[in-house]
Amino acid sequence: MSRVVSSGLLRTIGLTVASLAVVAAAPAADQKGIEYARPNGHPLLLDLHVPDGAGPFPAAILVHGGGFDGGSRATNMAPTFQPLADAGFVWFSIDYRMAPEFRFPEAREDLDTAIRWVKANARAYKVDVSKIVLSGESAGGFLVNYAATHETPQTKVAAVVDLYGPTDYEKVARQRQAYPARFNMTSINGHQKTGGGIWFFGVDDYDEPGFAKLRGISPVHAVHAGMPPFLEIHGTRDDQVPYEQSTLMCDAMHKVGAVCDIITIEAGGHGMGSWKDADQQHYKAGMIAWLRKTLELPSMQQTAPPATPTPAAPQPGRGGGFARPEPLDFNDHDGWTSIFDGRTLTGWDGNPEVWSVENGVITAVSTTERRIGSTHLIWRGGQPDDFELKLEMKLEGDIHSGIAYRSDVDPARAAAGGGRGAPLGVPANPKWTLYGPGLDYDYDRTMSGNVEERGTDRREIAWRGAIVQTAPGKRPRVVGSIGEGEALKALLKADDWNQIHIIARGHQLTHIINGQTMVVLIDDDPAYFRAKGWIGLQIEQFGTGRVNFRNIWIKAVRS
């Protein structure tokens, strides 16, 4: 087993960006302070580790964070040094030019230079140039994300490991402006004083010109087919770069057929140094397992579980020693039936004053001037018992919504209860009001994903993160856990499209959102259990805004 050890500062090697001269002498196992470039007389240094043996070995280029105005090649990525060394990797931890003296173009150029330098010196350092990985944390994560989405033949790498790096800087900036209490603004504003953070990109303020600059450099907008596989590692309580930055990147990559997986650090903050709990250390073994699979390296005698995948298209020929099912492809419709044609409400029944189709989307709008009473758009294609339903939904504003299934219309009850929350511009109508189980979804995501039961005293019967079982004459009981409710909430997108997958099989109801199981209900109470019923899309009378649904498919319908 290789071991990382310290060594004295070595004499720097006079290399320029232009020359990238090859190092002739074979280095020792560990070296510090190697100069890999000197742009305009500014020395750029790296530390490195080379395993024992003949090689060639896979290699990782490590890029530290620190808000683009701080951080160190010696410390920020240090938690990954030993796992990489133990796994037989060469690693290079690099400097790059930072604020206040420099800006983004120089840092980007430095990482590209480092990649070319490693390739030029591959023989000297026993590097397999076909198995070079970029890995960075925070600001360094952004740099590796950018490099891999803007690669050239000279800078292309085999894989990327991004630890909590921004992928959509525009969205981060807008969220910081709108919801500063959610962020560690003391740290964020501290970088502003020295030209770090978003100011590293020439942004002057949180305004539209600034947002446009940030959109232009955001890696999420540069994903493309053929880019290297990504592994995102991110904590669910990150107060500087939200966890959803990783899910956004994976979603964008999956749409172009690229590979992207996520290792989630439950309750993890911003920075590996804050991940101190025993159940937050799995990322190290998970990262190595993912790299072995992705780079098709020989398996170790002991391997850790693979990274938690987000939905991705199947990748033929990428098995590599893991016996696990392929991740669900949300866009795989083999055996499914489309129940929305994208143009009309054919097959659907709802209040025409409420529901319409705009740009391929079923939509309903409630405003302060014209509030909509709670109502459903009902699919009249049958009352399925066992089925799977997939669709995408998006809420805009502070509106409440949901998806009913195995539900009934009860005109008498609806008439008695209709009108709550009046005055309403469009009152609820009994013929379009469903009662029964469904998926709850609201604008602030507090109850989103829950199993809601309208019309009974059970109401929010199963909450996000729980496996709940019912029994005759007893209160519902939590019999297992899927995850922490707040951590799962972080996977739900505000003001954006969410992928909904509902599975109703016998007495078991499962809600999956964005590839993550949110709740499971095993309903064994015959007084409440419903074996079949109508499916309906809902807008509730609480709040104002717009509900949107599209891409609606159903499978295994038995009416």
- CATH numbers and ranges of domains, the chain: 30-295 (3.40.50.1820), 336-555 (2.60.120.560)
pLDDT range class, residue 326, cuts 50, 70, 90: low
> Could you tell me where the beta strands, DSSP code E, fall in 307-430?
336-338, 348-349, 356-358, 361-366, 375-379, 387-397, 400-409
Residue 286 pLDDT greater than 70, yes or no: yes
- The pLDDT of 181-202, averaged and rounded, is 92
Given phi > 0 = left and psi -120 to 50 = alpha, else beta, which region is 250?
alpha
- Average pLDDT in the chain: 87
What confidence score (pLDDT) does residue 494 get?
A: 87
Alpha-carbon distance 410 to 433, whole Å? 7
The CA distance from 362 to 393, in Å, is: 9
Q: Hey, is 474 helix, strand or coil?
A: coil
Which H or E element spans position 139?
helix 139-149
DSSP structure string for 284-314 = HHHHHHHHHHHHTPPPPSS-PPPPPBPS---
| Cβ within 8 Å of residue 513, ≥6 positions away | 448, 449, 491, 492, 498, 499, 500, 501
> How open is the CA angle 505-510-514, to the nearest 5 degrees?
135
| CA pair distance 426, 31, nearest whole angstrom | 73
Strands 159-163 and 127-137: parallel
Q: State the residue for tokens 């990782």.
A: 60
pLDDT number for residue 57: 96
pLDDT of res. 558: 54
Condensed to tens digits (0 to 9), the pLDDT of residues 77-114 reads 999 999 999 999 999 999 999 999 999 999 999 999 99
Q: Are 186 and 216 spatial neighbours (Cβ–Cβ below 8 Å)?
A: no
pLDDT of 12 over the 60 cut: no
Q: Note the pLDDT of residue 304.
A: 38
Cβ(429)–Cβ(421) under 8 Å?
no
pLDDT at 319 over 80: no
Res 529 pLDDT > 90: yes
Is pTM beyond 0.85? Reply is no
Range scoring the smallest mean pLDDT among 342-351, 454-463, 535-544:
454-463
pLDDT at 302: 37
- Please tell me the predicted confidence (pLDDT) of residue 328: 64
The amino acid present at 484, given as its one-letter code, is: E
Q: Check residue 15 and give its pLDDT.
A: 35
pLDDT band at residue 413 under the 50/70/90 scheme: low
